[in-house]
């Protein structure tokens, strides 16, 4: 955002610099001049001369009729383009923030779902463990229940990690870290 804002300000400054090229240049001059003795004569003339003048000068290069307008139009086009780039950057950042927020909410729901899965896996493990102790199931069923419990715990941890990742990504995108 800052980069696109700086680009817009630079383009505005370029337009401000190009516009005066279309205008004539006016100069106002005033001078007081005091000359000493005239040394170019032989013998030297000992006369002091004091004179002053004022004047106004106007200049307008004819090439600015063609080149100046072209430069101003080019600078104005660059200004429009930089403003459009700024708008696009704002939209992209807004879309990225929205997508990141949506993903964060989704990962939050996934963590809640994984917590329920862990609870169910724990219950299944305790039931299977009781059945195994009473000799009502095989060792493979007990191993399956412990594997399911372990997988549910791992999935919960991974979901929490993903949720933290999306949370910090959102903080990064909004520059609030």
pLDDT at 41 over 80: no
The structure tokens 């980069």 sit at 3
**pTM (2 decimals)?**
0.64
Q: What is the pLDDT of residue 35?
A: 78
Closest CA to 21 of 78, 66, 86, 84: 66
Residue-level length of the chain: 177
Confidence band of 38 (pLDDT split at 50, 70, 90): confident
Peptide bond before residue 135 is cis, with ω within 30 degrees of 0: no
Q: What is the pLDDT of residue 53?
A: 87
Burial 128-139 (b: 16+ CB within 10 A, else e): beeebeeeebee
Collapse the DSSP code of 24 into the 3-class scheme (helix H, G, I; strand E, B; otherwise coil) and give the result: coil
Gap between the Cα atoms of 120 and 153, Å rounded: 11
Q: What is the pLDDT of residue 77?
A: 95
pLDDT in tens, 59-118: 888 888 788 888 889 999 999 999 999 999 999 999 999 999 999 999 999 999 999 999
pLDDT in tens, 47-58: 777 888 899 999
Confidence band of 12 (pLDDT split at 50, 70, 90): very high
Within a 13 Å sphere around the CA of 19, how many CA atoms are in the beta-carbon half? 7
Q: What is the pLDDT of residue 100?
A: 95
The structure tokens 């493990």 sit at 125
Q: What is the pLDDT of residue 120?
A: 97
pLDDT in tens, 138-155: 999 999 999 999 999 999
pLDDT at 177 over 80: no
Helix (DSSP H) and strand (DSSP E) numbers for the chain: 3, 2
CA angle at residue 24 from 77 to 79, to 5 degrees?
15
Secondary structure (DSSP) of 90-132: HHHHHHHHHHHHHHHHHHHHHHHHHHHHHHHHHHHHHHHHHHH
pLDDT in tens, 118-142: 999 999 999 999 999 998 889 999 9
Q: What is the pLDDT of residue 158?
A: 97
């Amino acid at each position: 955002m800052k980069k696109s804002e700086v680009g817009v300000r630079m383009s505005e400054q370029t337009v401000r610099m190009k516009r005066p090229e279309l205008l004539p240049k006016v100069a106002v001059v005033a001078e007081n001049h005091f000359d000493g003795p005239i040394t170019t004569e032989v013998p030297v003339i000992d006369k002091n001369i004091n004179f002053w003048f004022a004047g106004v000068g106007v200049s307008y290069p004819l090439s600015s009729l063609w080149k100046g307008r072209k430069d101003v139009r080019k600078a104005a086009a660059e200004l429009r383009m930089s403003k459009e780039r700024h708008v696009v950057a704002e939209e992209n950042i807004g879309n990225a923030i929205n997508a990141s927020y949506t993903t964060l909410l989704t990962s939050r729901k996934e963590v809640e779902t994984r917590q329920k899965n862990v609870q169910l896996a724990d219950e299944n493990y305790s039931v299977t463990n009781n059945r195994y102790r009473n000799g009502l199931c095989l060792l493979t069923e007990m191993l399956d229940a412990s594997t399911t419990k372990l997988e549910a715990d791992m999935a919960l941890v991974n979901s929490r990690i993903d949720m933290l990742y999306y949370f910090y990504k959102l903080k990064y995108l909004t520059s609030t870290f």
